[in-house]
Structure 1
Amino acid sequence: MKKRVIVCGSTFGQFYINALQQLLSDDFELVGLYGKGSERSKKCAETYNIPLFTEFEQIPEVDFACVVISSGTVGGIGTELACKFMEKKIHVLQEQPIHPRDLTETYRVAKKNGVYFKTCDLYPKLPEVARFIRVAQELNKHEKPLYIKAAFGPQVSFPAIDILSRILPSVYSLTVEHITECVGPFDILTGKLGDTPITIEYNNQVNTDDRDNHAHLLHNFAIVYETGRLILEDTFGPVLWKPRMYVPKYLYNPEKRNEIPPYLKELTMETLGNYKAKDFMHVLFDDWKQGIADNIVEFSKMIDQKVKLAPYAQRELLCSQKWSEITNIFGFAKLIHPEGNEYIPSAQIHKYSEEV
């Protein structure tokens, strides 16, 4: 029997609608969209051919709700709505970021009503982010990270902490040593994760008229090991491995150059996996959709298998607390007011790169 699902929120909620309709229709029935009744909500319901519910009491019986609305402490009604569903014995999958105070309340209400609650962790399920996490976890079994560099902005800071926590549980012990503000568009934090140095480049800017745009990047991570550097160039990849160069002294003797060690035959850089560059439309409407679908399926299995919620709750609360601490340290984003979108076609950049 198909599980009945309601999506709440018509902005990012459209990605959930796409996932349910295009990838999960065999196992899930999307019963409709819950929204305020804005023009966008009406157009979404019409475009996706689903009912629009503007009053909570109108929502028919469902198995779980996808709440894709800002949580309470960041100015939305997401927390209130999630709790309202759970009081009706309906499981809830909620979009991040969620403040620790809100998260504590939602898990309390979930436990009281014997239902499941979880935040959607889209970014760690994106192909290249997942690859970066896997490789880092394996490398960590062999050698200790010597240094970490992370770069991200406020809009994706919650998943940035989530990604780091999967690689380095010591992220929860972050200590801050120094912050330099306004280094161009970035604030720079230096500190330590346990005894491992870390630098965070924080793109602490926001356009209040267009909050989802004008970031200089989503995520960039680099982990330095004794043997080389592992890099996630961007949220959408690639994942790079750059072996450390070592030239033994004996090779400076010409007669010894036939004795080449295997590490000198390594490429100076490896692009890991089957990476292929994708356009923005593909990553937005295919990769994100698949990541959300994976979250929905995982959440459904948790419910069916009666998985213990406590370990998930503990991990999410720790992640949320560290996210809250870090964003408080950086303070309010600086307001910017760019005019439109500056754009240089990649074909033009390729021309610049041509050999002279």
Structure 2
Amino acid sequence: MIRFKSSKSRRVLVVGAKFGEVYLNAFLQSRPGLQLAGLLARGSRRSQQLVHDFGVPLYTHLEQLPEDIDIACVVVRSTVAQGEGSQLAAELLNRGIHVVQEHPLHPDDVERLQKLAEQRGLRYWVNSFYPHLPAGRCWIDRATHVMQLLGDEMPCAAHLTTSRQLLYSTLDLLLQACGIPDGSQVQVQTLEGADSHFVPVSLALPDGCRAVLRLQAFLDPSDPDMHSLVMHQASLMWPAGYLTLEASYGPVLWTGHFHDAQHDSQERTMYRYAPDEAVYARPTCEVLHDAPATWRDAFEVDGAVGVAGVLQNFCRVLDGERVPTGFDPAYQLALARLWLDVLRVVPPAAERRLSPPQVVTWDGAQTDHGSAGGTDG
């Protein structure tokens, strides 16, 4: 069957005025094929400021929604996070609106909402956000590139560090980077060495690779979105080198392993023959993607690009293109189940009342410890 691209812009409703602001930021610039239709929220001062600044209507009840909404982005905590996001997603699907819902979700909710969408002839996606940021996409794409160059060789090892609130997206990053379409193939077990800060977890991947996940052991229940010791840090390792997502928004680094077959030669010194050996001209570390300069840039630029990319992919699928692996219903359900598997094997998060972290600045501090390329001795 031949399908034709829609000639009209699809009207997008954002649901939720907290992290939903990042979704609204996707419309800080024009997005061909997409039109911001409004904000559904409770009517707080924050939501009123947002609709004023974006020039769109504020709806406080589902019954107020117009009939021409095409896509709803539900950016409200789901049932598993003691929110009403999953119920809102179901009600929007029942109104004939396609839904993109912000993570995390219990797999029972994912399965129920997928079935409801299928029954209504609609699309339902879970957006884990971070794999779709420029840094996340770079890390995933470069991992694919490395594996292709190495004859489809999987990483021999992986290290991941994250917090409870970002575990879902960390697992999504790992599965996509390693090209694993089914999270049920991953075997989960805890490791020895837990302390008051992190719990180590083994993730046995197909083809023999084992990822070691360090999961933060505590959170502040009064502010669960904050206080991650590490939001995302992930490295994939091959004998050729290792690929690192240093933080949620970058940078992404490739560190190729140094190897000089004649390093132990008794016949010549390094400085004499180094100019003739290609290995010495290779970079010690390559920056494949820079981090944004400020947190404001992270939310208003990189976050906006990520959300816009998800919505544009969503529209392409509505126009008949193939569903990307990361949004395939079976993949998304298996991811949610893997997330729950990890949470089931680790101890419950310790609850702590935490103060805002101290800000460390480098103004006036000496950060250059010696000249570039210098050595001691």
TM-score, L = length of structure 1: 0.90
The answer on 1:126 being equivalent to 2:133 is yes
Q: Which residue of 1 aligns with 2:375?
A: none
Contact 1:7 1:67 in 2 (8 A): yes
Letter in 1 for 2:191: I
Q: Which residue of 1 aligns with 2:306?
A: 291
Further displaced range: 74-83 or 187-196: 187-196
Higher relative contact order (CA 8 A, sep 6+): 2
The answer on 1:336 being equivalent to 2:355 is no
Q: Which residue of 1 aligns with 2:117?
A: 110
Contact 1:205 1:215 in 2 (8 A): no
Post-superposition offset of 1:237 = 1.7
Which of residues 37, 43, 46 in structure 1 aligns to 2:49? 43
Letter in 2 for 1:137: T
Find the residue that maps to 1:272 and give its secondary structure. strand
CA separation of 1:109/1:30 partners in 2, compared to 1, >3 Å: closer, same or farther?
A: same
Which of residues 208, 211, 223 in structure 2 aligns to 1:210? 223
Contact 1:153 1:203 in 2 (8 A): yes
Aligned pairs for 1:7-46 within 5 A: 7-24=14-31, 26-46=32-52
CA separation of 1:271/1:28 partners in 2, compared to 1, >3 Å: closer, same or farther?
A: closer
Post-superposition offset of 1:185 = 1.8
CA distance in 1, matches of 2:183, 2:114: 23
Find the residue that maps to 1:150 and give its secondary structure. strand
Q: Which residue of 2 aligns with 1:199?
A: 212
Post-superposition offset of 1:108 = 0.6
Find the residue that maps to 1:346 and give its secondary structure. coil
Letter in 2 for 1:285: E
Post-superposition offset of 1:321 = 1.0
Which of residues 189, 198, 215 in structure 1 aligns to 2:201? 189
Find the residue that maps to 1:42 and give its secondary structure. helix
Letter in 2 for 1:58: Q
Q: Which residue of 1 aligns with 2:63?
A: 57
Q: Which residue of 2 aligns with 1:98?
A: 105
Post-superposition offset of 1:28 = 3.0
Post-superposition offset of 1:207 = 1.5
Contact 1:33 1:50 in 2 (8 A): yes
CA separation of 1:243/1:17 partners in 2, compared to 1, >3 Å: closer, same or farther?
A: closer
TM-score, L = length of structure 2: 0.85
Post-superposition offset of 1:9 = 0.6
Contact 2:189 2:345 in 1 (8 A): no
Contact 2:128 2:168 in 1 (8 A): no
Post-superposition offset of 1:88 = 1.8
Find the residue that maps to 1:20 and give its secondary structure. coil
Contact 1:229 1:243 in 2 (8 A): yes
User: Residue by residue, what CA displacement relative to the aligned partner does 1:223-243 show, whole Å, maximum 9, x if unpaired?
Assistant: 121112221111222222222
CA distance in 1, matches of 2:347, 2:17: 29
CA distance in 2, matches of 1:255, 1:86: 73
Contact 2:245 2:251 in 1 (8 A): yes
Q: Which residue of 1 aligns with 2:187?
A: 175
Contact 1:33 1:45 in 2 (8 A): yes
Letter in 1 for 2:113: T
Structure 2 unaligned blocks of 5 or more: 1-7, 372-377
CA distance in 2, matches of 1:85, 1:255: 73
Letter in 1 for 2:108: R
CA distance in 1, matches of 2:183, 2:95: 36
User: Residue by residue, what CA displacement relative to the aligned partner does 1:268-320 show, whole Å, maximum 9, x if unpaired?
Assistant: 222225x3652111111110011111111111221122656997111111111
Letter in 1 for 2:107: P
Structure 1 unaligned blocks of 5 or more: none
Find the residue that maps to 1:22 and give its secondary structure. coil
- How many residues matched? 353
CA separation of 1:48/1:201 partners in 2, compared to 1, >3 Å: closer, same or farther?
A: same
Contact 2:102 2:126 in 1 (8 A): yes
CA distance in 2, matches of 1:148, 1:276: 22
CA separation of 1:37/1:75 partners in 2, compared to 1, >3 Å: closer, same or farther?
A: same
**Structure 1 residue ranges (4+ consecutive) displaced by more than 6 angstroms after TM superposition:** 308-311
Q: Which residue of 2 aligns with 1:302?
A: 317
Further displaced range: 232-241 or 179-188: 179-188
